[in-house]
Amino acid sequence: MKVALITGITGQDGSYLAEFLLEKGYEVHGIKRRSSLFNTDRIDHLYQDPHDPNQRLKLHYGDLTDSMNLTRIIQECQPDEIYNLGAMSHVKVSFEMPEYVGNVDGLGTLRILEAVRILGLENKTRIYQASTSELFGGVPENKNERGFYDENSPLYPRSPYGVAKIYGFWITKNYREAYNMFACNGLLFNHESPRRGETFVTRKITRAVAKIALGLQEKVYLGNLEAKRDWGHAKDYVRMMWMILQAEKAEDWVIATGVTTIVRDFVKMAFSEVGIELEFKGVGVDEKAYVTACHHKDFQVAIGKEVLSIDPTYFRPTEVDLLLGDPTKAKEKLGWVPEYDLAGLVKDMMDGDVALMKKDVDLLKAGHEILKQVE
């Protein structure tokens, strides 16, 4: 039985990857940070009883800032594969916590690589480093001749998050070349799902749209509606992570859909899933969105209602306006083809958030009933 170790297992990617590997028959070990609150919602359905001898998912307390702890966990697990998905991954927040993001996202990668080397596991353990499209920085002249960013595009990160990740990218390549380790970077473009963190723009949009449709929220505030992104589904991307470590040769790979969409269009698609049509008026910080039609029988949103405004505090100090990846290498060499298109992704996210927000509506109704009985 193969053994895999996942940092960041409680996150979006970690939870989907754990599911995928368990289905493949792996024993999966995950590292989670100690917290006074439970933060395992995304994997609770996988982690049933730690005393069950047949339980193939095992969790360890750890942190990417603690090299001794990481070394101990790797020594205990003796993993065949390590997937380093743990990170402080919010680009906007990285400007407010630059030292922390450098320690976790940059030096955290080094700590894992060095632990594998010190323990003499160079020939046993394959390592996947979660790199990012933010390394490209959206610099137009660095695209390939087809207008995409690929494995050969120059790197120019434009955030503390991107700068920290570029250290992780290069130290992974360095250990691969210096110690002949099977260590690979996956330069992931934006990937979303119903499990995406609530502060990321796509999930912020789908949660807000669901609440607006159900009458739980008046409108949503966003930043740059002109930003363009290459959005894929996290399920497709974690499958590619696994394929990277099954390849014959350790290399670096771009994981993307090759299709770009502006934030404004994502908003329109999300509202469309609940039968709401929008009209955008105004320019820049004065742009707003209004309801022009509501076709869904279960939702009643007034025509003319303002449902979106711009909040300049969500603008980044250095904005990356366009990120578009070229997945040609992944498709031609590993046969990776995404199963979800953008429409399927938006539908999956909206279905999940509508169902989630309906629970809040049911709770409110139950509360009102209790109040009536008390009165």
Q: Which residues are catalytic?
A: 132, 134, 161
**Alpha-carbon distances, residue 85 vs 7, 119, 234 (angstroms):** 5, 21, 12
DSSP structural state of residue 27: E
Structure tokens belonging to residue 322: 């366009």
Beta-sheet strands, E only, within the chain:
3-7, 27-32, 57-61, 81-84, 126-132, 183-188, 191-192, 220-222, 228-229, 232-233, 253-255, 261-262, 276-281, 288-294, 306-310
Burial class (CB in 10 A: 0-12, 13-18, 19+), 22: middle
What DSSP state is assigned to residue 207?
H
Question: In the structure encoding, which two tokens stand for residue 114, read together?
Answer: 């060095």
Which tokens in the block code for residue 35?
């917290």
Please report, as a single letter, which amino acid is at residue 14. G
Task: Please answer whether residues 70 and 111 qualify as being in contact, where contact means their C-beta atoms are separated by less than 8 angstroms.
Answer: yes
Whole-number Å distance between alpha carbons of 252 and 34: 32
